[in-house]
Structure 1
Amino acid sequence: MGYRYFYDEKAEAAVLYSEKKQEYISYEDKRSLQAKIDYVKEHNLGGIFGWEATSDNNHELIKQLSTSFKN
C-alpha cells in the first residue's frame, strides 16, 4: 500500500501519507476520537459529530463513544 501513519499533535488527527502517490488521508482513529471526547467533556458540550462510520468494521469507535458517554 505504501502509506505511512502519522499523528498530527496540534490538530489531534490521524493521517496516512503516500509519498509515491503524493496522497494525504486524514481519518478518525481511537486516539483522535479520544481527543474529541475529552474536549467535549472538558467544555460540557452537548454531543459529538462524525461524518460516517462505515470504515469502523469492528465497531471500535462506536464502542469507544458509547463507553465514554455512559453515566
Structure 2
Amino acid sequence: MYDLGEIQRSLMVVNSIAVAGRTRRVKKIMAYRPQWLSRFYTQPIAQLTAIFQRERQQQAVRELLNTCTIS
C-alpha cells in the first residue's frame, strides 16, 4: 500500500468513491504488477474454484448413489 502523501510523481486520483451506496474518502491506493496479480490472486482463485467444483460434483454423485428407487 502507498500513502498518497508519499508519492512523488503526479497522479490523478479521485477524492472519494461510492461503495454500496455510501461515499468513502480515498486515502490509500494499491499498485501492483500484472504478474503479481496473476500469481497471488487470479491463479489462487482459479484453483479454489476448481476445488469447489470438484467437491460439488462429488457431493452430487454421493447423493445420487444414496438415492433409493423402488419400482
Instruction: Output the TM-score relative to the length of structure 1.
Output: 0.23
Which structure has more helix as a fraction of its residues? 2
Higher relative contact order (CA 8 A, sep 6+): 2
Report the structure, 1 or 2, having the larger strand content: 1
